Amino acid sequence: ATPAVSPQVGSHRDISHESLSLFRLLEPQIEILVLGTGDRVERLNPAMLKQMRNCGIAVEVQDTANACATFNFLMNERRVVAAGLIPP
């Protein structure tokens, strides 16, 4: 049997339904996923974002510096949040 390999994300172009699947499996289920797309905000596939919303997860897409700040703010508010961050 071949072990499952998690998708590697090196840029915003690599963010896919599959690469976000881990966030749908977390327990307790997260409310908000903060995605940092590097030096600037990048547009992601709207259908992929809609799939996350359909799973009950809101997605915030920001540049990575602002995504870190948003993540910290939401954590301080005791929200169930996760972050996917691409280094700037």
If one counts the domains in the chain, the total is 1
Q: Which pLDDT does position 20 carry in this prediction?
A: 87
Distance CA 27, CA 43 (A): 28
Closest CA to 82 of 55, 58, 53, 54: 58
Give start and end residues of each alpha helix (H) in the chain.
Answer: 21-25, 46-54, 64-76
Residue 49 lies in a domain: yes
Residue 5 has pLDDT above 90, yes or no: no
Q: Which pLDDT does position 4 carry in this prediction?
A: 47
Domain span including residue 68: 12-85
List pLDDT tens digits, range 48-76.
Answer: 999 999 999 999 999 999 999 999 999 99
Strand 58-62 versus strand 32-37 pairing type: parallel
What is the residue type of 17? H
Q: Which of 10-14, 37-41, 74-78, 83-87 has the lowest mean pLDDT?
A: 10-14
List pLDDT tens digits, range 27-39.
Answer: 999 999 999 999 9
Residue 19 lies in a domain: yes
Q: Which pLDDT does position 7 carry in this prediction?
A: 56
